[in-house]
Amino acid sequence: MDGVNKRRMNEKFLKTAVLASGRGSNLQALIDAWQSGELPIELVAVGSDQSEAQALSRAEAAGIASKAFPLRNYPDRFAQEEDLLAWLHGHKVELLLLAGYMRVLKTDFIREAGFPILNIHPSLLPAFPGVHAQRQAVEYGVRYSGCTVHFVDEGLDSGPIILQEVVPVLPEDTEDTLAARILEVEHRLYPEAVRLLARGRLKRQGRQVRISKA
């Protein structure tokens, strides 16, 4: 057995779930990196708040357990997130990734999860948090935007930053053209952040996230 395969056999693969509300392109980037052996994780579940989300179809195609949790099936958001969290715990999830999940997780969910939660956002946080970040960047007239992978805390896109990458804003950019170029970077940056966490190379010190050498 070669050294690489022996090391991979000894690695602990984090049981990982993804939440997505829409197309799931970042989910697909994570699936591709996982299936190619580039991520030391085990994708065990994909959830969505939208029954028709394409992300669920992507999960099914990859053989990953999936389930929709549409809000209309619950009396309120608390009941929805309680059911979602129980489902994640049932899959023994150790890491949760938000990939275009268009809901802000409530404080109780974050506190009771017991595992780290990561998110990717299409701006250079703390600039332009919330929805339509690309539109905000174009309308504000900034010369540079980008994307950020961060830990999720109880605020809105306010958790400690893991990785960021700059994307220039061109004079002719619209919200859509800027979003498309940022998305290309997201597909590369998110798996890299997950890889760093899964290999134990991230250390949080207050708001600072330190990356150790391999």
Residues labelled as active-site residues? 121
Beta bridge partners of residue 47, listed in sequence order: 19, 67
Is the torsion defined by CA of 109, 114, 115, 118 positive or negative?
Answer: positive
How many C-beta atoms lie closer than 10 Å to residue 195's C-beta?
A: 15
Q: How far apart are CA 203 and CA 165, in angstroms?
A: 20
Among all chains, which residue has been given the structure tokens 């899959």?
Answer: 91
Between helix 54-61 and helix 25-35 the angle, nearest 10°, is: 10
Residues in the chain: 214
Beta bridge partners of residue 16, listed in sequence order: 43, 95
Beta bridge partners of residue 98, listed in sequence order: 19, 119
Q: For residue 190, how many C-alpha atoms fall within 13 Å in the half-sphere facing its CB?
A: 30
Q: Which amino acid is at 36?
A: S
